[in-house]
Amino acid sequence: MKSEKIVVCGGGGFIGGHLVADLLRQGFTSIRAVDLKPFDEWYQRFPQVENLQLDLQEKAACEQALQGAHTVYNLAADMGGMGFIELNKGLCMLTVLINTHLLMAAKKFGAQHFFYASSACVYNADKQRDPNVTALKEADAYPAMPEDGYGWEKLFSERMCRHFREDFGVATRAARFHNVYGPHGTYAGGREKAPAAVCRKVIEAKLSGKHEIEIWGDGHQTRSFMYIDDCLKGTQAILHSDILEPINLGSDELVSINQLVDIVEDIAGLKLKRNYNLNAPKGVNGRNSDNTLIKKLLGWAPEVRLRDGMEKTYRWIFDEMVKSRMVGAVPKNML
């Protein structure tokens, strides 16, 4: 089993890089990582892995990527935080080409396992209007009213996975990720998500001595955030399970953005004046993961406390930002 070919699509990205590292730690010896980005922009890259730079929106590239594949993880997408998603709906929709061509290639080459990384953005917007949100169950994706652009693409791709499984026997599994964060991720440049963005802003305030922070929205919007280690464990467990329908993979520890800032301020050891930008993208008012089903089917759910995960994330971003100031360079994660 350790020698069967595993292909990580989006292997140069945040989650993909961590997944490749985890597979190597487990002793897998035949791993292929594929990403659109130039190699020097990959968040993590490992010489013992077959690394390919390919545009997976192209059918021929997907066939090249999946030749000989036993297991496929599709983590590839043109996406980012809410600022990117709301302003790039067309680009987000084009990601449907990636999953389409990967499924076709998986069918052609007989891949035994196919994992699709979906998103909590598939959920009906009417159920996310209140910051005191009722945690979202898997059934709440229908009737469909997902996040425009990105959410629609994810929901459609979930259905495509289902029908390739039912019609062609491709063994697909899908998980709806809820706000994954951790070290080795994007923290500036427009694609970063809230945990990394807040860390960066607090660190900038600490290093500059200007103790102010801009918060998008009124700070009352609520979310749950899943640490990368929980994402990796859940992803691999779901891939090898008998769970056929898309399932939540996220923490159920609900916090407001104001509370997230509180946590990072405490880690940094300072208090900041808060300036609220009510015109900035902020997404839905409330979103949380109902983990009833994953606990029932896997006997497990994401368990890393937000405070613990944020401390590790803050320390990594702090070191990266100090390093960039010392050498006068811009890290790839800020491009």
Can you say whether residue 275 is alpha, beta or left, with left for phi > 0 and alpha for psi between -120 and 50 degrees?
beta
CB of 13 closer than 8 Å to CB of 76: yes
**What is the C-alpha to C-alpha distance for residues 212 and 140, in angstroms, rounded to an integer?**
38
Of the residues 73, 116, 123, 150, which is catalytic?
Answer: 150
Instruction: Provide the pairing of β-strand 31-35 with 50-53.
Output: parallel
Q: Can you give the chain as a three-state secondary structure string? A: CCCCCEEEECCCCHHHHHHHHHHHHCCCCCEEEEECCCHHHCCCCCCCCEEEECCCCCHHHHHHHHCCCCEEEECCCCCCCHHHHHHCHHHHHHCHHHHHHHHHHHHHHCCCEEEEEEEHHHCCHHHHCCCCCCCECHHHHCCCCCCCCHHHHHHHHHHHHHHHHHHHCCCEEEEEECCEECCCCCCCCCCCCHHHHHHHHHHHHHHHCCCEEEEECCCCCEECCEEHHHHHHHHHHHHCCCCCCCEEECCCCCEEHHHHHHHHHHHHCCCCEEEEECCCCCCCCECCECCHHHHHHHCCCCCCCHHHHHHHHHHHHHHHHHHHHHHCCCCHHHC
Catalytic site includes residue 116 = no
Catalytic residue IDs: 150
